[in-house]
Structure 1
Amino acid sequence: MKKIHLLTRKEEINEQKMAEGEKVAVVLDVLLATTTIVSALQDGATEVIPVLNCEEALTYEKQYGINTYILAGELDAKPVAGFVYPSPAVLGEKVNGKALVLSTTNGTVALRKSIGAKEIYIASLLNNPFIAKEITNDWHEETVMVICSGNSGEMSLEDFYGAGHFIDCLVSEQEEEVEMTDAALAALSFYKGNREGALEILKSSLVGRMFDRHQFDSELRFAAQKGVINLAPKLENGRIVIQASIKQ
């Protein structure tokens, strides 16, 4: 039977168990890493390299010419000297034709901790429906691990909502019954109860309130859009490139 598990924060990832069996990881960091990655690829980035921290990001300077990459990063949501702030609005057209080396407190760490999985998808509200379609095309007995990056060891409301949206999209694509953990069922129920309230959910979250205080309303509105980017990017060999584009 097809199975869906949900982890509510990156600290729940067991790297050894992730490598056991056939697991497909779907990683979400709605505010903001995975939203930024999907947006950057849509805006023409040649690839995105998620790193564990800014120190690791700096090691990539030797691999790229000065005009062929961008270093973007934050630490505890704060800017880092020498790095572009990793948000869709700030990066914008800067990433077109360039590699993006990305360091974030939660999302890129969750991606790197998931490397034992058979496949690793980068998910957000922007592209959840397209990842659901891509997985469905070749889903047999693998367990789908939906991973919320969380916020510095705590569960994040926006990731939980995004996970519920993804699960809703995935289950809607299936003709047979799908087995879900209680956490996955809880996320799905939470999403269904707030289906039309994406922006309000994001604004009410801890990170969303911080964005609101710093007048990042445009970032919240962008991240709250559902199914507007038809990409299903995957992390392979340390790099994220455009692997699939589903026709609407």
Structure 2
Amino acid sequence: MQKIHLLLKKEELNEEKIESGKKIAVVLDVLLATTTITSALHNGAKEVIPVMNSEEALEVAKAIPANDCVIAGEYEAKPIDGFVYPSPTLISKMIKDKTLILSTTNGTVALRKSAGATKVFIAALVNNPYVAKAIQKEKEAETIVVVCSGNSTGFSLEDFYGAGHFIQCLVGNQREEYELTDSALAALMFYQGRVEASKQTLADSFVGRMFTRHEGEEDLQLAAEKGAIDLVPILKDGKVVCSGKGIEVKTNN
């Protein structure tokens, strides 16, 4: 029986524990890093390189011709000078056949801290059903660690909701095959109570309210579209690439 555990924020990640045993990490930053990554790959990005901060982003960029990459990032929700803001709808217009170098306060840090897991999947509402379907085939994994990246306040409502949606997609009607920790069960129950309210839940969150104030409606709408992108991004050798596409799943969860 596989165990599903949920971490409520990136600060709960223990890199030594994530490396021990056969663990799969599923990282969510619904607003906005994992939605941006998935969208960028969907729109033709060659790969996405998540970095810890802007300094590392600039260092990584030195090895890639300027015309072949897009450097995007934010720090504490504010744009970084000289970087493209990591808006999925904005980046989609400029990313085809390029590498996205991405620095965010929470999502890319959570990804990097999860790198020691046996496999690291990138998930969001837009691709949760497809990631869940791929993970259902990972029978050797002992624990599936679902990581909410969180935000400046710590707990992130949109990541908690997204985690619940992912867990629903994963377990479906086969609850007896999984052991859910209390945190994982809480996210699942929260999601089940708001199945039809994805956009409203995101809009009501701390970060969602910031989006509304700063004309981020288009990104908010995209992030709320459950199952809209049929990609399964994974972190491999420090880069996010697609491990699967077009997996047939039902997306009415």
Q: How does 1:150-169 map to 2 (within 5 A)?
A: 150-152=150-152, 154-169=154-169
Map of 1:59 onto structure 2:
59
Match status 1:209 vs 2:209: yes
- Is 1:163–1:187's contact at 8 Å kept on the other side of the alignment? yes
CA distance in 2, matches of 1:136, 1:174: 11
Distance 1:151 1:175, change over 3 A: closer
CA distance in 1, matches of 2:127, 2:3: 21
Distance 1:29 1:114, change over 3 A: same
Secondary structure at 1:234 match in 2: strand
Distance 1:30 1:175, change over 3 A: closer
CA distance in 2, matches of 1:242, 1:9: 25
Secondary structure at 2:93 match in 1: helix
Alpha-carbon shift at residue 188 of structure 1 (Å): 0.1
Alpha-carbon shift at residue 215 of structure 1 (Å): 1.4
- Is 1:132–1:173's contact at 8 Å kept on the other side of the alignment? no
Work out the percentage of aligned pairs sharing the same amino acid.
57
Alpha-carbon shift at residue 93 of structure 1 (Å): 2.1
CA distance in 2, matches of 1:200, 1:154: 20
CA distance in 1, matches of 2:50, 2:33: 9
Q: Which runs of 5+ in 2 are unaligned?
A: 249-253
Alpha-carbon shift at residue 22 of structure 1 (Å): 0.4
- 1:228 alignment partner AA: A
Alpha-carbon shift at residue 175 of structure 1 (Å): 7.4
Match status 1:235 vs 2:235: yes
Alpha-carbon shift at residue 173 of structure 1 (Å): 6.8
Map of 2:10 onto structure 1:
10
CA distance in 2, matches of 1:8, 1:20: 20
Secondary structure at 1:242 match in 2: strand
- 1:224 alignment partner AA: A
CA distance in 2, matches of 1:92, 1:79: 18
Q: TM-score, normalised by structure 2?
A: 0.96
Q: TM-score, normalised by structure 1?
A: 0.97
Give the number of equivalent residue pairs.
248
Alpha-carbon shift at residue 60 of structure 1 (Å): 1.5
Q: Which runs of 5+ in 1 are unaligned?
A: none
Comparing 159-168 and 61-70, the one that deviates more? 61-70
